[in-house]
A and B are shown apart, each in its own frame.
Chain A
């Protein structure tokens, strides 16, 4: 075989093509146009729905671990519970790369403005989860040192009860956030404000 190929090569001839192809035959054998090759893989949808679908399945959390809730947050990220099943495993320790601020723990007044600053550094669109009793309402700390709920400083999308909440509760809260993102009007809101501006 090798010798014959070499002969053809030397003679400047094209070797004979094999009849059988390695590619499995297409279902649409009749049409040869470009459309027919992608037709089965096209979904028609709204831009908002597509954008929301992409956003909700790759949330990048900023872990704001301030107290014991942070331990449960770490447990949620690790193998037994594994939030990468929901596309949220990319914990970003830079607020500029994060979507979701998970405030997990007691927010003291001394820490409060640092949390606010991190929130301000996060790019839009962004969401906030108040994890546990302390972040939601100050919890058991009714005192001079503790901010009575992070919602006094930044807007909160999901509150998770518990002291601390179990990882299942955090996952439930994040799934609630996904449902919320699903229903958002991401481009419609832009359009509305644009038309309001134009008049």
Chain B
């Protein structure tokens, strides 16, 4: 049994609070409004049997409003059903933490906070997990340069700008031949 039945059940319960559902190659995605995100997750966890959180990630739609999107990948314990729950988050808006539902959400949410700067309300220990405490930037945001920015915390850590030597090397998918499609050093206008 796939998670399609669970999606219709969620639709019945939450109605208009579920903005959109997407089914693509048997993968089911539920897009909800941020206010009812925690309720939907609690329903999935407590009644529909999604006992495990696989991953929590975030997307930066730089230029859009709301800017961020948070993605929960959840699964049943026998791995028969997977479900993806998404919600849009605007800047400086906190997300209700899912650590009360899944203890495993703890580090995932810390990573989201560390890399993207999305705060979680009700998180027991919301501090940086990869970068050091006191690092002033959120490095996975689109407006943060790949080369990095200089920062300094004496006796803790520092960072400098990495020389990119013509990079960043990105593929140009629409280019006419393979040479132009390959990631090579290019001058960026």
Question: If the complex has contacts A110-B132, A148-B162, are A143 and B157 also in contact, measured as CB distance less than 8 A?
Answer: no
For A145, list chain B residues within 8 Å (CB): 130-131, 139, 148, 159
In whole angstroms, what is the CA distance A143 to B168 when docked? 10
Which single residue of chain B is at the shortest CB-CB distance from A109? Answer: B159
Overall SS of chain B's interface: loop
**A142 and B147 contacting across the interface, CB-CB below 8 Å:** yes
Complex CA distance for A148 and B160, rounded to whole angstroms: 8
Interface residue A146 (Cβ < 8 Å from any Cβ of B): yes
| Contact status of A113 and B163, CB under 8 A, knowing A143-B147, A144-B149 | no
Which A residues touch B62, using CB under 8 A?
A: none
Encode B136-154 as 1/0 by CB contact (under 8 A) with A.
0101000011111100000
Inter-chain CA distance A152–B161, complex, in Å, is 12
The answer for the CA separation of A143 and B146 in the assembled complex, in Å, is: 6
**Given pairs A109-B158, A142-B168, A144-B137, 11 additional interface contacts (CB within 8 A):** A109-B159, A110-B130, A110-B157, A113-B157, A113-B158, A142-B147, A142-B164, A144-B144, A144-B147, A144-B162, A145-B139
Q: Do A144 and B146 touch (CB < 8 A)? A: yes
* Inter-chain contact A143/B148, CB cutoff 8 Å: yes
Q: Which of B157, B163, B164 contacts A109 (CB 8 A)?
A: B157
When A110-B131, A110-B132, A110-B157 are in contact, do A142 and B167 touch as well, CB less than 8 Å? yes
Contacts of B148 in A (CB 8 A): 143-145
Cβ of B65 under 8 Å from chain A: no
User: Of the candidates A110, A112, A113, A143, which one forms a contact with B162 in the assembled complex, judged by CB atoms under 8 Å apart?
Assistant: A143
Query: Which among A112, A138, A141, A144 has the greatest number of chain B C-beta atoms within 10 A?
Result: A144
Give the residues in chain B near A152, CB-CB below 8 Å: 160
B12 within 8 Å of A (CB atoms): no
Q: How large is the interface on A (under 10, 10 to 19, 20 to 34, 35 or more residues)?
A: 10 to 19
Q: Determine the chain B residues whose CB is within 8 A of the CB of A143 once the complex forms.
A: 146-148, 162
In the complex, B155 has a CB within 8 A of chain A: yes
Contacts of A113 in B (CB 8 A): 155-158
Known contacts A110-B131, A110-B132; A146 and B158 CB within 8 A of each other: no
Expressed in whole angstroms, the Cα–Cα distance for A110 and B155 within the complex equals 11
**Chain A residues within an 8 Å CB radius of B64:** none
